[in-house]
Amino acid sequence: MTPTLYLQRDQPEGVPPLALTGERTLPDVPAENYWFRRHLVVYEWIAARTAGMRVLDMACGEGYGTDVLARTAQSAVGVDANPEAHEHARLRYSRANLRFVRDMVGSFAEEADAVVFLQTIEHIEEPGAVLDHFRSLVARTGTQPRGPGSAVPGTVFVSTPNVLTLAPKGASRSGNPWHVHEYRAEEFAALCREHFASVEIHGLFHARKLRAHELALRAGWDRVHRRLGLTSRFYDWFTPAIASSDFTFRAAHEADLDLALDFVAVCRS
């Protein structure tokens, strides 16, 4: 049976839509909205902390996250090796302080105040070498915050999914064919601390609608919607309605990170 191919909807004239392959998430695909919002909220969280900085978005994919970073940054550069993703991003997102470069994340060598590397380290064979490279790109930047709530220039932001909540119950990994290694909280923290002197780990959790949905599932919602024949109608409404506000962040000292959806590391030399 041929798998369903999802293409982005309603792209601007002259912008080729990308296909959803499972390797990266995309905006403008209603069935993918949960994953898109789950990634987008992390970009928004980082953008609030990198205002006025020079920011590199490594493995930027479709480009939506680099565009979010550019809203507050002095400059934002999205780096990705995939030719289709690069061409789409270049045509789709346009700001005076935004550009896209087709290159490998391990070889792109432009200095910056902050490096962003989201939901990609689990795809990397040698993550330590990549983290060392990112550290070198921010090593010679300043040390003073740019404003209230800002990160210190010289910061690397890295996120990855939590294998304990991504994988099916009882499985050691999710089965995603693009993932080389999937991390537990302590593994991810240890990896980052091997390469940076200061590492803060934050967890991403469900909130609002998604938290209510979690509780409904525990109460047996899966049995109810199937028995009543509501599955398609409910999720055709619910999934596109998910917003960034349906996720929340908690620092490691505030929450059990084994229950987190994703981990976000804030790393400094």
Q: For the segment 52-75, what is each residue's pLDDT rounded down to a tens digit?
A: 999 999 999 999 999 999 999 999
Q: 98 has which bridge partners?
A: 76
What phi, psi does 99 have (nearest 5°)? -150, 160
User: Among 4-8, 112-116, 141-145, 151-155, whose mean pLDDT is lowest?
Assistant: 141-145
- Cα separation, 260 vs 263, in Å, equals 7
Question: Among all chains, which residue has been given the structure tokens 């229950």?
Answer: 259
Q: Would residue 15 count as lying in a domain?
A: no
Q: What is the pLDDT of residues 108-125, one digit of tens each?
A: 999 999 999 999 999 999
Q: What's 35's domain CATH number?
A: 3.40.50.150
pLDDT at 3: 47
Q: Which of 205, 200, 179, 190 is nearest to 257 (CA)?
A: 205
Q: Which amino acid is at 90?
A: R
Provide the domain limits for residue 227: 25-268
pLDDT for 263 beyond 80 = yes
HEC per residue, 49-92 = CCCCCEEEEECCCCCHHHHHHHCCCCEEEEEECCHHHHHHHHHH
Q: Which 8-state DSSP code applies to residue 168? A: P
Q: Would residue 3 count as lying in a domain?
A: no
Q: Would residue 10 count as lying in a domain?
A: no
Q: Mention every residue, 6+ apart, whose C-beta is less than 8 A from residue 259.
A: 164, 165, 203, 205
Q: Would residue 16 count as lying in a domain?
A: no
Query: Average pLDDT, stretch 200-211?
Result: 97
Band (pLDDT 50/70/90 cuts) for residue 1 is very low
Q: Would residue 93 count as lying in a domain?
A: yes
- Scanning the chain, the segments in alpha helix (DSSP H) are 33-47, 64-70, 83-92, 127-138, 163-166, 185-193, 208-218, 221-228, 231-241
Q: What is the pLDDT of residues 155-175, one digit of tens each?
A: 999 999 999 999 988 888 888
Q: Would residue 20 count as lying in a domain?
A: no
Q: Mention every residue, 6+ apart, whose C-beta is less than 8 A from residue 47.
A: 68, 69, 71, 72, 73
Contact present, 18 and 89 (Cβ < 8 Å):
no
How many domains does the chain contain in total? 1
pLDDT for 2 beyond 50 = no
In the three-class reduction of DSSP (H, G, I as helix; E, B as strand; rest coil), residue 227 is classed as helix
Q: Would residue 178 count as lying in a domain?
A: yes
pTM: 0.93
231-241 helix and 208-218 helix, angle to the nearest 10 degrees: 150
The answer to whether the Cα torsion of 137, 138, 139, 141 is positive or negative is: positive
Two tokens at 56?
């590199």
Q: Would residue 113 count as lying in a domain?
A: yes
Element of type H or E holding 198: strand 198-206
